[in-house]
Structure 1
Amino acid sequence: MKRNRILIVEDEESLLKLESILLSSKGYKVVGVADGVAAIEEIFSNIPDLVILDVMLPGIDGFEVCRRIKEDPATSKIPVIMLTARKNTQDMDRGLQSGADAYITKPFKSAQLIGTIERILSNAVG
């Protein structure tokens, strides 16, 4: 079975470590970056199977990163899960309008994140 490569974009170091450990323990190959510019560079140089994207990032925010991923034909099929503390409906709508495949708010349950990743990746294969 192919090990899916997941890019985590999270500026809070402790959360980046936590998410990386969680996904690695489930057999995913994980790469982490801490800001929007690094995310775009990583995505376009080494296309991941899925992106977990915080909204509040230094430099370029998660909404803009998602929009850039989805508007480029080379990366438009990459699933994006927004994982953020921003819970209001306007932010959720904006996330989905920018192309996110899912929007999960922090604090999150590990099972919810893993379930969402598995569902999206299994749909992407089919």
Structure 2
Amino acid sequence: MRRIPGANVLIVDDDEYNRKLLNIFISTEGHKPIEASSAQQALQLADSDHPDIILLDLMMPGVDGFELARQLKGNPRTADIPLVVVSALDDPAVAQRAISCGVDGFVQKPLDRWQLLQTVNKLLKIDAGAAPGTDADA
């Protein structure tokens, strides 16, 4: 699996504005965004495209982000993909619940671009000094 700049990032949010903002932040960092507007679409894309990391909203109609995280972590084909919650919910109990569902990171809305990219790069194990095309873990 790639652990270098240029990662495939699945953005899951039912709100188009939020998806577009995350798309801009991710693409300006050199990553390749993939967008899903529902949990069902996200499950299909995660299984078929196997992104390097998934950014997900918690509050979505139908299957919410908590259940989506459980399903992703429960599927052997997607269990290894790091999950980052991007949410306006500011409650330690919400963060704990997300962690119990398998989430690896948490970024608060309103979005702080630097915090988002630091979280993504940490989970992707990207070394800021690594040359493109090299594996920072090597």
With structure 1 as the length reference, what TM-score do the two structures score?
A: 0.93
Larger radius of gyration: 2
- The sequence identity of aligned pairs, in percent, is 33
Aligned length: 126
Judged with a 3 Å threshold, the aligned counterparts in structure 2 of structure 1 residues 125 and 85 are, in CA distance, closer, same or farther, namely farther
CA RMSD after TM alignment: 1.7
> Structure 1 runs of 4+ off > 2 angstroms?
123-126
Q: Could you list the per-position Cα deviations for residues 28-71 of structure 1 after superposition, in whole angstroms to 9, with x for gaps in the alignment? A: 01001111111111111211000000001122100011111111
> What letter corresponds to residue 40 of structure 2 in structure 1?
V
Partner Cα distance (1:42, 1:24) in 2: 18
Q: Secondary structure at the match of 1:76?
A: coil
Corresponding residue number in structure 1 for 2:61: 58
Q: Is the 8 A contact 2:5 2:31 kept in 1?
A: no
Corresponding residue number in structure 1 for 2:28: 25
Q: Give ranges in structure 2 of 5+ residues lacking alignment.
A: 127-135
Corresponding residue number in structure 2 for 1:76: 79
Q: Does 1:44 align with 2:47?
A: yes
Partner Cα distance (1:19, 1:57) in 2: 16
Superposition deviation, residue 84 in structure 1: 0.6
- Counting helix residues as a fraction of each chain, which structure ranks higher? 1
Corresponding residue number in structure 2 for 1:7: 10
Superposition deviation, residue 4 in structure 1: 0.6
Partner Cα distance (2:104, 2:113) in 1: 18
Partner Cα distance (1:3, 1:16) in 2: 18
With structure 2 as the length reference, what TM-score do the two structures score?
A: 0.85
Q: Is the 8 A contact 2:14 2:60 kept in 1?
A: yes
Q: Is the 8 A contact 1:81 1:100 kept in 2?
A: yes
* More contact order relative to length (CA 8 Å, sep ≥ 6): 2
